[in-house]
């Protein structure tokens, strides 16, 4: 089983290396095929590992395989090891499965792009990094994967490197992730100091030392918040839409941004030992899901709407992980990967057909012109809104029900927030669908839409079809409270802290579906049948709650001011000055000493004679 | 030994050396400078021979012979330089020959 | 009696040495300076004889006075003996300083000799009659000081080569380094 795990891990890396070494010697399509093949090999290996694990008894499903001792410093030691257990198997399947589909989609989407090979190399590198993150057998390897995922994200967001906005967005993403990396590093330092190791078993230690436990959990939470674009480190995600659409689908919807959720579930021992931090995670999740849902109501860029919806759904996952419903959070992660990827890739088909236009105000009436895309969008949108029998229905509401099960005013508040989010989700999702697809084709569409060869290349269509089907039916794997194979599967690794009663589950289900349907109805009334006029969006929502401006004033401007002041006040006079002084001083000293070189024989001889006289005295005196 | 003691010879050698040094320092014609240099060398030679006699060791005389050979070699090169300078129509005045001025 | 003669010879030789030395430095005509140096060398030869250095005295006369000085005279004759008046311009800082340095050196050496005269410079050693004879010199050169002997010959070779190069007449229109045509 671990052999399959190793193959899964390294296949995409081999693909990336091959593409890199091939350079311009290999064709562009070849690079794409190499990337697709390597991720599909990884997927097959993951499936093999999963099947083997299915055949084992629940106790022996967790296996740690160490290749060699990687780091050794004093008494601290880390091996290069992978952990194949129930949780990592699920993540591996999602990453490689959805990843290979998206890379196959890119074969059509990125065709004819400049530097196509670079794209595929980066995508393969990303898949490898994400696998390293989820398969890492200790916290150091997790951190290595964490950092590399951030790097791949930076490289891919800034893929269109000639666009200043793309470069800026890439930098923003990287810097905000770096904040999270820093907090995680602090957590790791504390763990090494107090427990001497970074294996997963030391999480939750040293028992009783509340200060250390809280700081460690906070550090981990900081990293998760940064990577998953939750409050307060969320501003990078909408800007990350500057990257190509498949990148948005893979990294900023299905996998990388969910790494934060994975981290919390994997390190649940650390969070359970610091309950206040875990509650904080739930609170941040709830706040984010509401805030993102509100902002999504007023966005006009198709990709940004979907991005904010991602932020909101991850808020649900944080909420779930924060209250201890780990299996529900992971299940929602999986379903979300399917329907969010469907939405992004279908949007990609749209953008591709409209030659890069992303403003929904220019679109309209595409239902008849692009029926396949409409159906895919519909599947994804219904799943997102949580309408049965689509997948989102099965995964979203159990989280909200768990909040109710937690009890107390805290749980109730989270329950209300989750349900309000369901309403918002319905509204903004179908606002998008109705505006883009319903009505008469807009002038822009009539001019710019070209569907001569069908709605898109075949590679784009079959992958979207697969994902749409998954978004539709995959939910039936788990239907709490009736059958829960996923929860049972994950139980040895991440036992849940709360278990809702049947009444709570079914009650929440019904309310959630009703609210979702109500949201769709509201969207229909405003954007579909135009019975009511859309209210003017408030400035707070338009400006995304002014977070960008806040961070600009609080962090960016002071940093720039400090840099400028140091340059003027310190670097130029002191450092440059002292170097210039050295130069000038040396030159002056040389010029002064050169006066001894008179070129006259007699001066030189005189100097010899005089020094001889002096030396003689010295020798005689000293003896 | 008959005659004056070694000290007298050494004093004479010192005088010769100092005289030669004066010539090197004060004269402007390179020919005279070379001649004064020879004078200095001879002063040194006298001192060497005197010490050889004093110690009863032949090494001083050997050294003096070697000095003589080297002086001859040096004169060859020096005169060659002076002839080359004259051929290039340079003034034979060491004060004016300051091309190596730094 | 023998002692007295030695003293007389010594005084005569010493004074002629000194006188010719001062003459070398003082004449404005280089030809006269060269002749004075020859006289100096001859006086020195006499002094060497007094010091039991017969071979060195002979070499001095033959090689130094005979070959080297003749070469000097050749060059002076070739160059026409341009003269310069040494003491024409009054005492400059340069000349005063030079005299000072030379005088200082002289004084120091005399002082040292004086200090050591009674001590380490004591009595001269007793030497056999063959001291300083060609046989002895030859034996010393070829046994104890063979290396010096050989190296001196190398030095002379190098000087000869240098002399040839320095005296090389450049052909018309040709400069150093472009020998090949």
Distance, in Å, from the CA atom of A292 to the CA atom of A229, rounded to the nearest integer, reads: 10
Q: A330 and A90 in contact (C-beta within 8 Å)?
A: yes
In chain B, what residues touch C53 (CB-CB under 8 Å)?
A: 49, 52-53, 61, 64
Distance, in Å, from the CA atom of A517 to the CA atom of A511, rounded to the nearest integer, reads: 10
Measuring CA to CA, which residue among A434, A418, A421, A405 is closest to residue A498? A405
Which of A599, A605, A606 is the closest to B100 by Cβ? Answer: A599
Q: Which residues numbered 19-78 in B keep a CB inside 8 Å of some CB on C?
A: 19-23, 25-29, 31-32, 34-36, 38-39, 42, 45-46, 49-50, 52-56, 58-59, 61-62, 64-66, 68-77
Asked if B93 has any chain C CB less than 8 Å from its own CB, the reply is yes
Asked if C50 has any chain A CB less than 8 Å from its own CB, the reply is no
Asked if A599 has any chain B CB less than 8 Å from its own CB, the reply is yes
Question: For strand A63-73 and strand A76-84, is the pairing parallel, antiparallel, or unpaired?
Answer: antiparallel
Q: Is the pLDDT of residue B42 over 50?
A: yes
- Residue C37's domain comprises 1-82
DSSP A78: E
pLDDT at A453: 65
Asked if C97 has any chain A CB less than 8 Å from its own CB, the reply is yes
- Higher confidence at residue C118 or residue A424? A424
C98, B76: Cβ pair inside 8 Å?
A: no
Measuring CA to CA, which residue among A442, A227, A205, A420 is closest to residue A314? A227
- Higher confidence at residue B89 or residue A98? A98
Asked if C115 has any chain B CB less than 8 Å from its own CB, the reply is no
The chain-wide mean pLDDT, for chain C, equals 84
Identify the three-state secondary structure at position A215. Answer: helix
Asked if B90 has any chain C CB less than 8 Å from its own CB, the reply is no
Which of C76, C78, C141 is the closest to B62 by Cβ? Answer: C141
Gap between the terminal Cα atoms of chain A: 89
Distance, in Å, from the CA atom of A248 to the CA atom of A583, rounded to the nearest integer, reads: 53
**Which site among B18, B27, B95, B99 would you substitute to test the A interface, given the most A Cβ atoms closer than 10 Å to its Cβ?**
B95
Residue C110, domain member (yes or no): no
Which of C102, C109, C111 is the closest to A609 by Cβ? Answer: C102
Residue C89, domain member (yes or no): no
**Which site among B34, B63, B73, B88 would you substitute to test the C interface, given the most C Cβ atoms closer than 10 Å to its Cβ?**
B73
Low-confidence residues in chain A, pLDDT < 50: none
C94, A617: Cβ pair inside 8 Å?
A: no
pLDDT at A581: 86
Gap between the terminal Cα atoms of chain B: 54
Residue C164, domain member (yes or no): no
Residue C60, domain member (yes or no): yes
pLDDT at C180: 46
* Whether residue A331 has a cis bond before it, omega within 30° of 0: no
Residue C98, domain member (yes or no): no
Which of A596, A602, A609 is the closest to B95 by Cβ? Answer: A602
Asked if C77 has any chain B CB less than 8 Å from its own CB, the reply is no
Asked if A596 has any chain B CB less than 8 Å from its own CB, the reply is yes
Distance, in Å, from the CA atom of A331 to the CA atom of A346, rounded to the nearest integer, reads: 23
* Residues in contact with A48: Cβ distance below 8 Å, sequence separation at least 6, in sequence order: A4
Length of chain B as a residue count: 102
C51, B65: Cβ pair inside 8 Å?
A: no
C68, B50: Cβ pair inside 8 Å?
A: no
C94, A620: Cβ pair inside 8 Å?
A: no
DSSP string of A81-128, one letter each residue: EEEESHHHHHHHHHHHHHHHHHHHHHHHHTTT-TTHHHHHHHHHHHHH
Q: A323 and A414 in contact (C-beta within 8 Å)?
A: yes
B98, A598: Cβ pair inside 8 Å?
A: yes
A617, C112: Cβ pair inside 8 Å?
A: no
Asked if A597 has any chain B CB less than 8 Å from its own CB, the reply is yes
Residue A80, class by beta-carbon neighbours within 10 Å (0-12 exposed, 13-18 middle, 19+ buried)? middle
Distance, in Å, from the CA atom of C38 to the CA atom of C36, rounded to the nearest integer, reads: 5
Angle at A230 between CA A225 and CA A235, to 5 degrees: 110
Question: What pTM does this model have?
Answer: 0.68
pLDDT at C83: 65
CATH number (domain holding residue C22) = 1.20.120.1200
Q: Is the pLDDT of residue C176 over 70?
A: no
B-C contacts at Cβ under 8 angstroms: 244
C109, A612: Cβ pair inside 8 Å?
A: no
Residue of chain C whose Cα is closest to the Cα of B34: C72
Distance, in Å, from the CA atom of A89 to the CA atom of A135, rounded to the nearest integer, reads: 8
CA distances from C51 to A246, A343, A470, C135 (A): 109, 118, 122, 17
Residue of chain B whose Cα is closest to the Cα of C145: B62
Asked if C104 has any chain A CB less than 8 Å from its own CB, the reply is yes
| Phi, psi (degrees; rounded to nearest 5) at A595 | -65, -20
Residue of chain C whose Cα is closest to the Cα of A620: C112
pLDDT at A439: 79
A613, C104: Cβ pair inside 8 Å?
A: yes
Which residues in B have their CB inside 8 Å of a CB on A?
A: 21, 24-25, 33, 94-95, 97-102
**Class of B6-87 per CATH?**
mainly alpha
In sequence order, the β-bridge partners of residue A64 are: A83
pLDDT at A205: 73
Asked if B17 has any chain C CB less than 8 Å from its own CB, the reply is yes
Residue C42, domain member (yes or no): yes
pLDDT at A549: 83
Residue of chain C whose Cα is closest to the Cα of A603: C94
Q: Where are the domains of chain B?
A: 6-87
C103, B29: Cβ pair inside 8 Å?
A: no
pLDDT (tens digit per residue) in C16-69 = 999 999 999 988 888 999 999 999 999 999 999 999 999 999 999 999 999 999
pLDDT at C173: 47
CA distance C54 to chain A (A): 32
Asked if A408 has any chain B CB less than 8 Å from its own CB, the reply is no
Please give the tally of structural domains in chain C.
Answer: 1
In chain C, what residues touch A617 (CB-CB under 8 Å)?
A: 108
Asked if C35 has any chain B CB less than 8 Å from its own CB, the reply is no
C98, A613: Cβ pair inside 8 Å?
A: no
Residue C100, domain member (yes or no): no
Residue of chain B whose Cα is closest to the Cα of A605: B25
pLDDT (tens digit per residue) in B2-40 = 778 888 899 999 999 999 999 998 888 889 999 999 999
Residue C51, domain member (yes or no): yes
Predicted complex ipTM: 0.91
């Amino acid at each position: 089983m671990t052999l399959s795990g190793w193959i899964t891990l390294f296949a995409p890396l081999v693909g990336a290396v091959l593409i890199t070494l091939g350079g311009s010697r290999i064709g562009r399509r070849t690079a794409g095929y190499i990337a697709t093949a390597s991720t599909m090999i990884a997927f097959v290996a993951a499936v093999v590992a999963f099947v083997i694990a299915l055949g084992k008894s629940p106790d022996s499903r967790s296996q740690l395989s160490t290749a060699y001792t990687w780091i050794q410093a004093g008494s601290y030691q880390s091996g290069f090891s992978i952990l194949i257990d129930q949780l990592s198997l699920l993540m591996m399947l999602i990453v490689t499965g959805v990843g290979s589909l998206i890379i196959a989609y890119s074969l059509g989407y990125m065709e004819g792009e400049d530097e196509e090979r670079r794209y595929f190399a980066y995508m393969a590198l990303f898949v490898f990094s994400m696998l390293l993150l989820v398969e890492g057998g200790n916290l150091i390897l997790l951190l290595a994967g964490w950092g590399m995922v951030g790097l791949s994200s930076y490289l891919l967001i800034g893929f269109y490197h000639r666009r200043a906005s793309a470069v800026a967005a890439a930098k923003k993403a990287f810097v905000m992730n770096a904040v999270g990396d820093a907090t995680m590093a602090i957590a790791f330092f504390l763990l090494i100091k107090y427990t001497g190791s970074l294996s997963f078993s030391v999480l939750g230690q040293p028992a009783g030392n509340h200060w250390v436990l809280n700081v460690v959990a906070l550090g981990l939470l900081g990293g998760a918040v940064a990577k998953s674009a939750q409050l307060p480190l969320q501003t990078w995600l909408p800007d990350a839409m500057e990257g190509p659409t498949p990148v948005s689908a893979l990294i900023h919807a299905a996998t990388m941004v969910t790494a934060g959720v994975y981290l919390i579930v994997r390190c649940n021992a650390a969070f359970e030992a610091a309950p206040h931090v875990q509650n904080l995670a739930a609170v941040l999740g709830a706040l984010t899901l509401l805030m993102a849902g509100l902002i999504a109501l007023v966005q006009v860029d198709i990709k940004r709407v979907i991005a904010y919806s991602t932020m909101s759904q991850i808020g649900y996952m944080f909420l779930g992980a924060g209250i201890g419903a780990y299996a529900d959070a992971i299940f929602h992660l999986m379903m979300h990967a399917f329907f969010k990827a469907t939405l992004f890739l279908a949007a990609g088909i749209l953008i591709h057909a409209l030659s890069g236009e992303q403003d929904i105000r220019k679109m309209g009436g595409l239902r008849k012109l692009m029926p396949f895309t409409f159906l895919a969008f519909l599947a994804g949108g219904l799943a997102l809104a949580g309408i049965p029998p689509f997948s989102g229905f099965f995964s979203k509401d159990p989280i909200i029900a768990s909040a109710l099960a937690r009890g107390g005013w805290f749980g109730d508040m989270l329950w209300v927030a989750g349900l309000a989010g369901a309403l918002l989700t319905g509204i903004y999702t179908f606002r998008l669908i109705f505006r883009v697809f319903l009505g008469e084709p807009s002038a822009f569409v009539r001019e710019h839409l070209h569907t001569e060869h069908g709605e898109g290349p075949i590679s784009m269509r079959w992958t979207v079809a697969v994902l749409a089907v998954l978004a539709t039916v995959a939910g039936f794997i788990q239907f709490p409270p009736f059958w829960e194979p996923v929860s049972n599967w994950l139980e040895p690794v991440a036992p849940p802290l709360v278990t809702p009663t049947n009444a709570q589950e079914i009650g929440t289900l019904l309310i959630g579906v009703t609210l979702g349907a109500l949201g769709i109805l509201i969207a229909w009334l405003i954007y579909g049948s135009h019975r009511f006029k859309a209210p003017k969006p408030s400035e707070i929502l338009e400006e995304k709650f002014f977070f960008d401006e806040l961070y600009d004033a609080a962090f960016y401007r002071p940093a720039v001011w400090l840099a400028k002041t140091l340059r003027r006040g310190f670097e130029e006079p002191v450092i440059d000055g002292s170097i210039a002084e050295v130069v000038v001083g040396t030159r002056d000293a040389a010029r002064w000493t050169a006066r001894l070189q008179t070129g006259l024989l007699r001066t030189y001889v005189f100097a010899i004679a005089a020094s001889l006289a002096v030396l003689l005295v010295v020798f005689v005196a000293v003896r | 030994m008959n005659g004056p003691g070694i000290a007298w010879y050494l004093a004479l050698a010192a005088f010769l050396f100092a005289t030669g040094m004066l010539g090197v320092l004060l004269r402007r014609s390179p020919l005279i400078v070379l001649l004064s240099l020879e004078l200095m060398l001879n002063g040194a030679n006298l001192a060497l021979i005197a010490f050889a006699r004093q110690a009863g060791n032949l090494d001083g005389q050997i050294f003096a012979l070697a000095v003589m050979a080297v002086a001859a070699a040096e004169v060859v090169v020096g005169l060659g330089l002076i002839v080359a300078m004259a051929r290039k129509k340079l003034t034979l005045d060491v004060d004016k020959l300051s091309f190596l001025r730094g | 009696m023998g002692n007295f003669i030695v003293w007389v010879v010594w005084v005569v030789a010493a004074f002629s040495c000194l006188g010719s030395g001062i003459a070398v430095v003082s004449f404005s005509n280089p030809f006269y300076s060269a002749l004075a140096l020859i006289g100096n060398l001859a006086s020195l030869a006499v002094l060497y004889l007094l010091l039991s250095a017969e071979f060195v005295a002979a070499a001095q006369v033959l090689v130094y006075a005979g070959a080297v000085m003749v070469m000097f005279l050749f060059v002076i004759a070739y160059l026409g003996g341009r003269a310069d008046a040494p003491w024409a311009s009054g005492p400059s800082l340069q000349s005063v300083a030079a005299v000072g340095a030379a005088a200082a050196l002289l004084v120091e050496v005399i002082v040292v000799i004086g200090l050591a005269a009674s001590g380490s410079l004591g009595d001269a050693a007793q030497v056999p009659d063959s001291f300083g004879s060609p046989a002895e010199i030859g034996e010393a050169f070829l046994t104890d000081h063979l290396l010096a002997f050989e190296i001196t010959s190398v030095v002379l070779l190098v000087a000869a080569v240098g002399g040839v190069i320095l005296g090389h007449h450049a052909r018309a229109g040709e400069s150093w380094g472009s020998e090949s045509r």
